[in-house]
Chains A and B, each alone.
Chain A
Amino acid sequence: MEYDLKMSIQGLDFFYGDFKALHQLSLDFCENRVTALIGPSGCGKSTLLRCLNRMNDLIPYSRVKGKIFLDDEDIYDPSVDVVTLRRRVGMVFQKPNPFPKTIFDNVAYGLRVNGFKDRSMIQERVESSLHQAALWDEVKDRLYESALDLSGGQQQRLCIARAMAVEPEVLLMDEPASALDPIATQKIEELINELKKNYTIIIVTHNMQQAARVSDVTAFFYLGKMVEVGDTERIFTRPALKQTSDYITGRFG
C-alpha cells in the first residue's frame, strides 16, 4: 500500500548558538502513518520534532539550515506565516499542560484564537474533539470544571483533544505518555492508533515497546544524526546496523 508524502525534511542542520544539534537530516513523513523518533537522551529527536512546527523559533540564538516541506511549501521560507503553520502542525507535549481554564475552554481555545465565533459550531467541535480523544464519556458532565482537576492521563487526552480541535494535518507528540501510568499510557496508545486514520503522526518516545507498538516507521537517532530509518517491524527485528540493534536491545543508551 502506498502512502502520500506529507512532510519532508531535506538536509536539515540545527544549531543552539555554536552547538550543532542536528546534522544533515533527511526524513519523510507519510499521511496516515505513525513515525516514531527514538534514541538516547540528547540525541536531538525532540529538537527535530520542534523544528517541524517551528517551536524552536522561541529559543534565542538558535539557527536552522536546510529545508522542511509541508506538502509543497518550505516551512522555513520567509513568506510562511508561522502562526498558520502551527495550526496545521499541532503538538502534544511531554507533560500534560492544560490551561488553568475549564475543560470546555481548553478545547475551545484553539478555535477561538483562530477566529471561530459561532457558539454552536464551537460546541460541536469541542464535543467531537473530546470524542476523538476518548475523553467525552469521562468529562461530559463536568465540562465547565477546571481542567486542572483531571487526572494526569485525562489531562493528556484533553491536550490531545485541544490539539485536534483546530483540525491540524500533522500531529507532533513529544513523549506523550512518559509522565503517565501504564493504564493511561495504554489509552494514549490506543488513541494514536485511532488517530492515524485522519492524521500524520510523529511521535518521540523513550520507550522501545511503545515505539514498536504504535508506529509504522521508526527512525533511530544518535548524537544529532539519523542512524537508521525503516519500517518499524524491520527495525525491531532485523536492524541493518549494529548501533541500532544495540540500542533497541538495551545494550546502550
Chain B
Amino acid sequence: MTKENSIKRGRKITQTVVFGLFKICALINGIALLIIVWFLVANGWRAINWTFLTQAPTDSMTKGGILPCIIGTLAISLGAMVVALPVGVASAVYLNEYARQGKMVRFIRLGINNLAGVPSVIFGLFGLAFFVVWLDFGVSILSGALTLAAMTLPVIIGASEEALRNVPDTYREASLGLGATKWQTIYRVVLPAGLPGILTGAILGISRAAGETAPIMFTAAVFYSPSLPTSLFDEIMALPYHIYVLATAGTEIEATRHLQYGTALVLISLVLGLNLVAIIYRTHLRRRR
C-alpha cells in the first residue's frame, strides 16, 4: 500500500515538474516580446510626436521626422504583397489541387523549402543583380518590392498550402458531385474556405519582410532622399534601413539615439498593427461562416 502510494506521488511530482518546465518555455516567448516592446517604449516614446510622424528628417538627419521612411516601408511592403500574394496562392493551388504528386512536385517543393532558408542578404544581392541591374529597374520601389516578394513567397506558399490542406475533402467531393468543374470547386469552395489561413500567412510574411534591412539596402532604400517618392521607379527611405544608418553610419550616433529608438518603435508598431489586422480579419471571416 505504501509502495503504491509512493509510486503515485512520484508520478505526480514528475508531472508537475514537466508541466512547470513547459509552462516556463511558453512564458519565455511572451516575456521576450514584452521586454523588447517595453525597452523600445521606454527609450523611444520621447521621440514620438506629431512632427516626428509627419515631417522629413532635417539637419543631417539629427532632427525632424521619419515620414519618408514610413511611406517607403509601406510602399515596398504593399508592393511585395500585391506581387507575392497572387503568385504564392496560385503556386499553392497548383501544388495542392492540380499537380500529380510526383518527382516534379517534389522538386518544386524542395526549391521552395530551400528558398525559405536563404539568408535575406542573398535576396538583396539577387535583387541587385536581377531587378536593379539586369532588368534595369534601378534602385527603386519596384526593385525593392519584387525582392521582398521573392523573399516572402516561400512563406506565403507554405501558409497557403497548409490552409488548402486543411479544407476538408468532403467540400471538394460535395462540389464535384453537384457537377462543378475542378476550377469552380477551387474558386468557389476551396479558396474561400482556406482564405483565413492564407491571409494570415500572407500578412505575417509581409510584416516580417517589412522589417528586413538587407534585401532593400541594395535594391530600394537610400541613405537620405530629399523628396517623397512619386513613382514606382523612385528610390525611398525605409524604417529598418533608417535605423541601421542612424545607428552605424551617422556622424551623431549618440545624439540620435532617441530617434533610433523612436523609429524602431514606429516600425514594430507597424508590424504589430499589420498582425493585428490579420487576426481581426481572420476572426471576422471565421465568424461569417
Q: How far is the CA of A99 from the CA of B288 in the complex (A)?
A: 12
Q: CB-defined interface of A101-132 with B at 8 Å, one 1/0 digit per residue? A: 10000000110111000000000000000000
Tell whether, in the assembled complex, residue B179 and residue A83 are in contact, meaning their CB atoms are under 8 Å apart: yes
Quick check: is B171 within 8 A (CB to CB) of the other chain?
yes
Tell whether, in the assembled complex, residue A93 and residue B178 are in contact, meaning their CB atoms are under 8 Å apart: no
Beta-carbon nearest neighbor of B285 in chain A:
A100
User: How many whole Å from A62's CB to the nearest CB in chain B?
Assistant: 14
Complex partner residue of B179 from A60, A98, A114, A159, CB under 8 angstroms: A114
Q: How far is the CA of A55 from the CA of B168 in the complex (A)?
A: 16
Tell whether, in the assembled complex, residue A86 and residue B176 are in contact, meaning their CB atoms are under 8 Å apart: yes
Q: How far is the CA of A99 from the CA of B192 in the complex (A)?
A: 10
User: How many whole Å from A149's CB to the nearest CB in chain B?
Assistant: 9
Tell whether, in the assembled complex, residue B179 and residue A93 are in contact, meaning their CB atoms are under 8 Å apart: no
B288 surroundings in chain A (CB, below 8 A): 146
B101 surroundings in chain A (CB, below 8 A): 60
Q: CB-defined interface of A183-214 with B at 8 Å, one 1/0 digit per residue? A: 00000000000000000000000000000000
Q: CB-defined interface of A79-97 with B at 8 Å, one 1/0 digit per residue? A: 0000110111011010101
Tell whether, in the assembled complex, residue B188 and residue A100 are in contact, meaning their CB atoms are under 8 Å apart: no
B178 surroundings in chain A (CB, below 8 A): 86-87, 90, 109-110, 113-114, 162-163, 166
Quick check: is B193 within 8 A (CB to CB) of the other chain?
yes
The number of chain B residues with a CB under 8 A from chain A is: 22
The number of chain A residues with a CB under 8 A from chain B is: 29
A90 surroundings in chain B (CB, below 8 A): 177-178
Tell whether, in the assembled complex, residue B179 and residue A109 are in contact, meaning their CB atoms are under 8 Å apart: no
Q: CB-defined interface of A53-72 with B at 8 Å, one 1/0 digit per residue? A: 10100101000000000000
Complex partner residue of B177 from A146, A148, A163, CB under 8 angstroms: A163
Q: CB-defined interface of B157-178 with A at 8 Å, one 1/0 digit per residue? A: 0000000000010111111111
Quick check: is B181 within 8 A (CB to CB) of the other chain?
yes
Quick check: is B289 within 8 A (CB to CB) of the other chain?
yes
Q: How far is the CA of A9 from the CA of B253 in the complex (A)?
A: 84
B176 surroundings in chain A (CB, below 8 A): 55, 58, 86
Tell whether, in the assembled complex, residue B175 and residue A93 are in contact, meaning their CB atoms are under 8 Å apart: no
Tell whether, in the assembled complex, residue B177 and residue A91 are in contact, meaning their CB atoms are under 8 Å apart: yes
Tell whether, in the assembled complex, residue A159 and residue B174 are in contact, meaning their CB atoms are under 8 Å apart: yes
Tell whether, in the assembled complex, residue B171 and residue A87 are in contact, meaning their CB atoms are under 8 Å apart: no
Complex partner residue of B189 from A99, A114, A146, CB under 8 angstroms: A99
User: How many whole Å from A11's CB to the nearest CB in chain B?
Assistant: 25
Q: How far is the CA of A60 from the CA of B105 in the complex (A)?
A: 15
User: How many whole Å from B289's CB to the nearest CB in chain A?
Assistant: 4
Beta-carbon nearest neighbor of B287 in chain A:
A146
Tell whether, in the assembled complex, residue A97 and residue B180 are in contact, meaning their CB atoms are under 8 Å apart: no
B170 surroundings in chain A (CB, below 8 A): 93, 95, 97
B177 surroundings in chain A (CB, below 8 A): 53, 55, 86, 90-91, 93, 163
Q: How far is the CA of A46 from the CA of B171 in the complex (A)?
A: 18
Tell whether, in the assembled complex, residue B173 and residue A93 are in contact, meaning their CB atoms are under 8 Å apart: yes
Complex partner residue of A113 from B100, B168, B181, CB under 8 angstroms: B181
Q: How far is the CA of A55 from the CA of B193 in the complex (A)?
A: 21
A84 surroundings in chain B (CB, below 8 A): 179
Residues of chain B touching chain A, judged by Cβ–Cβ distance below 8 Å, are 100-101, 168, 170-181, 184, 188-189, 192-193, 288-289
Can you list 13 A-B contacts with CB-CB less than 8 angstroms, sorted by A residue number? A55-B177, A58-B172, A58-B176, A84-B179, A93-B177, A97-B168, A101-B192, A113-B175, A113-B181, A114-B178, A146-B288, A163-B177, A166-B179
